[in-house]
Amino acid sequence: MTRPAPQDVRTVACVGAGVIGGGWVAHFLARGYAVRAWDPAPDAEARLRRLVDAAWPALEQLGLAPGASPARLTVTGTLEKAVSEAQFVQESAPEKLELKRELLAKLDAATPAGIVIASSTSGYPMTDMQTEAVTPGRLIVGHPFNPPYLIPLVEVVGGERTDASAVEWASRFYELAGKSVITMEREVPGFIANRLQEALWREALHMVANGEATVREIDRSITEGPGLRWAFMGPMLTFALAGGEGGMAHMLDHFGPSLKSPWTRLEAPELDGALYDAVVAGCADASDGRTIADLVAERDQGVIDVLRATGRLPGTGAR
């Protein structure tokens, strides 16, 4: 067993370096880790370095750990080279179950014994992904939020064959790496936050499909409405306040019966060509000429402003 204490980790490997893998790379670099990354795409290194460069101004605003630098990123030519000296591995390959199964088995074979390997999956249970691994006890889900270098939350959960010690180790490691961790005691479909987001997203798609609301209206309904509260108070306590001095008990007495009103559709809509085109066109319209890079910069600044305003700028921690 070569698992270091979480506070002794110096080198992490990121396998799969797209939107989320790249975001993890930026996060770990900013936290002062040496990062070894591997991605099979021919243009992966250039893409990854562009992502890190674009994220760095935001990370500088948050405060870098001593010694943190993009120069501590090594992009390797093989998966084996990325993980051979890693003290933690974060997998962020495409969301395809068979691919994840094979990749996690490969990572398990190539990573030194005992080192914890986390998957960024948005929803596959680890039980379904760890089927091919020889030592599945060290495989966990560490589900981040985009961008991982700014959104604190990580949902951590193991599968049926995961050792409890790996879940505990990963939760502590992520905390030390500046994340806000929810450690789940058992596998739940969609984890917690994604299950909530998916419900909202499903209803948004129904409204676009039925011409009930535009993409722009849907986004504004959140940013000018409930989203302002959700940045610092979740939906439960927010609704407790809807009950006035009677709190949640009065809220339930008052509005509980309307839970049965047919406001929501529950079944996902068919993502047919018309809905696909309407959502893509609606987003282009709502972008008002801003490029994806413009929107990333705007989002990053917005998240930093909210974290600062609510007193939640993370400490940088020393390595």
Ligand X SMILES: NC(=O)C1=CN([C@@H]2O[C@H](COP(=O)(O)OP(=O)(O)OC[C@H]3O[C@@H](n4cnc5c(N)ncnc54)[C@H](O)[C@@H]3O)[C@@H](O)[C@H]2O)C=CC1
Q: Which residues are annotated as a binding site for NAD(+)?
A: 16-21
Cβ at position 197, least distance to ligand L46V6VHR in Å = 6
Residue 109 C-beta: closest distance to ligand L46V6VHR, Å: 27
Cβ proximity to ligand L46V6VHR, 111 vs 122, nearer residue? 122
DSSP, res 181: E
Specify the residue, 90 or 171, whose C-beta has the smaller distance to ligand X. Answer: 90
Q: Which of 6, 16, 159, 178 binds ligand X (CB under 6 A)?
A: 16
Give the nearer residue to ligand X in terms of CB position, either 9 or 17. Answer: 17
Residue nearest to ligand X (CB): 18
Angle at 251 between CA 250 and CA 257, to 5 degrees: 105
Ramachandran class of 318: left when φ > 0, alpha when ψ lies in -120 to 50, beta otherwise: beta
Non-local (6+) Cβ contacts of 119 within 8 A are 91, 92, 100, 104, 126, 129, 139, 140, 141, 142
Query: What are the residues binding ligand L46V6VHR (CB under 6 A)?
Result: 122, 145-146, 194, 197
Task: Kindly tell me which of 23 and 32 has the beta carbon lying closer to ligand L46V6VHR.
Answer: 23
Among 9, 20, 89, 151, binds ligand X (CB under 6 A): 20
223 Cβ contact partners less than 8 Å away, ≥ 6 residues apart:
none
Which member of 90, 120, 130, 171 binds ligand X (CB under 6 A)?
Answer: 120
In sequence order, the β-bridge partners of residue 180 are 153
Q: Locate tokens 């000429």: which residue?
A: 289
Tell me which stretch binds ligand X (CB under 6 A): 120-128, 152-160, 220-228, 234-242.
120-128
**Complex with ligand X: residue 96 or 254, whichever CB lies closer:** 96
Residue that has been written with the tokens 């180790």 in this structure:
169
Q: What are phi and psi of 130, to 5 degrees?
A: -90, 10
**Pattern 29-68, ligand X, x by CB under 6 A:** ----------xxx--x------------------------
Neighbours of 95 (CB within 10 A): 14
Cα 196 to Cα 184: distance, rounded to the nearest angstrom = 15
Residue 137 within binding range of ligand X, rule CB under 6 A: no
Strands ordered across the beta sheet of 73-75? 73-75, 34-38, 11-15, 89-91, 117-119, 139-143, 153-158, 180-183
Q: Which residue ranges make up the annotated binding site?
A: 16-21
Binding at 152: pick from ligand L46V6VHR, ligand X, none (beta carbon under 5-8 Å per type): none
For ligand X, which is the closer residue by CB, 43 or 224?
43
What minimum distance in Å lies between the beta carbon of 249 and ligand X? Answer: 36
Nearer to ligand L46V6VHR, 78 or 146 (CB): 146
144 near ligand X, judged by CB under 6 A: yes
- CB 314, CB 152: distance < 8 Å: yes
- x/- site string to ligand X, residues 70 to 109, per CB under 6 A? ----------------------xxxx---x---x------
Residue 156's CB: how many other CB atoms inside 10 A? Answer: 25
Size of the site for ligand X (CB under 6 A): 23
147: preceding bond cis by omega (within 30 degrees): yes
Sign of the Cα pseudo-torsion (286, 291, 295, 298, in order)? negative
Instruction: Give the interface with ligand X as residue ranges (CB under 6 A).
Output: 15-21, 39-41, 44, 92-95, 99, 103, 120-122, 143-144, 146
